[in-house]
């Protein structure tokens, strides 16, 4: 199989994993407008080509394409790949609007092809183990669920570049919360029908050291503490750095999701309570 890759940024390892010439799978071409990204790709994949446009990539003989571009480009790129007859691995979120997701699904129905969505948390061993316990009835019917996520690297990861601008991501409830809200739905066996919540740009909006936003190479994140010491904050930052939502699911389960992007350490915590006392588990 020959793979193409759209976008070689922080998420590039997910495509690199697929390069297994010993199994007959290889990365054949990258498209990325950034010279730095193309150079990094070529360093790791001397066998492949690096081009600067999706049109050029799609003119190649490829079986599938990894769509690893920023969120607001997913819709355009996913539909272009499907129209070119390619199977796609599409990073989450599928698109930045529900209408955008519908257009991707409509294209798939019209054209055919396969979409693998980048909801990789469904493959985390700890999540799969929780799902297994719940499906075995270990806590009875789930009645309530909580997920709290504290992110120490949130400033660095989401407030210095394109993520910080709402039009690019629709905010971190989708950008980041897409994983945990999906997992809550999966573990609880239903989808939200009613949601209330609140949030705000509590810290990074007041950052006094904002510089003019320019592209920079964030190959890794630093935990920045205190958050007010973070420089290079995107001056257009208009997304929340704190979110708290409550969800009522169609099956009646009550769930809660909270994220904080300026915490002193990183932690993700799931709690699910059902109608039965839990049995003793051996993990
Ligand atoms: N599943 C996960 O756990 C997970 C984790 C992090 C990010 N993501 C998602 O992966 C995607 C990529 O995130 P990232 O952190 O790697 O972003 P990034 O900014 O590090 O990299 C994006 C790359 O896309 C390139 N790009 C921009 N416009 C392009 C275009 N028109 N054609 C081709 N390439 C283009 C950029 O130059 C950059 O190299 C995002 O949608 C993000 O939400 C998923």
**Which residue has the least CA distance to atom 32 on ligand 1?**
32
Q: Is 32 in the pocket of ligand 1 (CB under 6 A)?
A: yes
Q: Is 156 in the pocket of ligand 1 (CB under 6 A)?
A: no
Tens-digit pLDDT string for the chain (283 aa): 999 999 999 999 999 999 999 999 999 999 999 999 999 999 999 999 999 999 999 999 999 999 999 999 999 999 999 999 999 999 999 999 999 999 999 999 999 999 999 999 999 999 999 999 999 999 999 999 999 999 999 999 999 889 999 999 999 999 999 999 999 999 999 999 999 999 999 999 987 666 655 555 556 677 778 898 888 888 889 999 999 999 999 999 999 999 999 999 999 999 999 998 776 655 4
Report pLDDT for 195. Answer: 98
Q: Is 33 in the pocket of ligand 1 (CB under 6 A)?
A: yes
Report pLDDT for 206. Answer: 86
Q: Is 75 in the pocket of ligand 1 (CB under 6 A)?
A: no
Report pLDDT for 108. Answer: 97
Q: How far is the CA of 9 from the centre of ligand 1 (A)?
A: 5
Structural domains in the chain plus CATH codes: 2-118 (3.40.50.720), 121-274 (3.30.360.10)
The preferred substitution site among 13, 32, 74 for testing ligand 1, maximizing ligand atoms within 8 Å of CB, is 32
3-state secondary structure the chain: CEEEEECCCCCHHHHHCCCEHHHCEEEEEEECCCHHHHHHHHHHCCCCEEECCHHHHHCCCCCEEEECCCHHHHHHHHHHHHHCCCEEEECCCCCCCHHHHHHHHHHHHHHCCCEEECCHHHHCHHHHHHHHHHHCCCCCCEEEEEEEEECCCHHHHHCCCHHHCHHHHCCHHHHCHHHHHHHHHHHHCCCEEEEEEEEECCCHHHCCCCCCCCCCCCCCCCCCCCHHHCCCCCCCCCCCCEEEEEEEECCCCEEEEEEECCCCCCEEEEEEEECCCCCCCCC
Q: How far is the CA of 8 from the centre of ligand 1 (A)?
A: 7
Q: Is 4 in the pocket of ligand 1 (CB under 6 A)?
A: no
Report pLDDT for 283. Answer: 46
Q: How far is the CA of 136 from the centre of ligand 1 (A)?
A: 37
Q: Which is the closest atom of ligand 1 to the Cα of 118?
A: 1
Q: Which is the closest atom of ligand 1 to the Cα of 8?
A: 39
- Whether pTM exceeds 0.85: yes
Report pLDDT for 109. Answer: 97
Q: How far is the CA of 190 from the centre of ligand 1 (A)?
A: 29
Q: How far is the CA of 198 from the centre of ligand 1 (A)?
A: 27
Q: Is 68 in the pocket of ligand 1 (CB under 6 A)?
A: yes
């Amino acid at each position: 199989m020959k793979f193409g890759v759209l976008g070689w940024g922080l998420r590039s390892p997910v495509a690199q994993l697929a390069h297994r010439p010993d199994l007959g799978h290889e990365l054949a071409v990258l498209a990325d407008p950034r010279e730095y990204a193309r150079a990094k790709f070529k360093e790791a994949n001397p066998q492949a080509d690096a081009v600067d446009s999706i049109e050029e990539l799609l003119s190649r003989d490829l079986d599938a394409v990894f769509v690893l571009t920023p969120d607001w480009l997913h819709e355009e790129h996913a539909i272009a790949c499907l129209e070119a007859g390619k199977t796609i691995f599409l990073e989450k979120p599928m698109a930045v609007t529900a209408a955008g997701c519908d257009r991707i699904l409509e294209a798939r129905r019209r054209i055919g092809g396969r979409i693998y969505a980048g909801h990789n948390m469904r493959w985390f061993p700890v999540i799969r183990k929780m799902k297994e316990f719940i499906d075995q009835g270990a806590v009875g019917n789930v009645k309530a669920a909580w997920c709290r996520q504290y992110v120490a690297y949130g400033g660095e990861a989401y407030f210095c570049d394109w993520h910080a601008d709402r039009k690019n991501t629709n905010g971190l409830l989708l950008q980041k919360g897409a994983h945990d809200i999906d997992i809550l739905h999966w573990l609880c066996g239903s989808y939200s029908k009613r949601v209330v919540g609140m949030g705000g740009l509590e810290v990074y909006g007041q950052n006094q050291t904002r510089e003019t936003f320019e592209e920079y190479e964030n190959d890794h994140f630093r935990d920045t503490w205190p958050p007010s010491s973070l420089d290079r904050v995107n001056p257009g930052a208009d997304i929340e750095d704190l979110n708290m939502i409550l969800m009522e699911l169609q099956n009646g389960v009550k769930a809660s999701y909270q994220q904080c992007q300026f915490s002193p350490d990183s932690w993700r915590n799931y709690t699910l309570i059902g109608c039965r006392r839990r049995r003793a588990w051996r993990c």
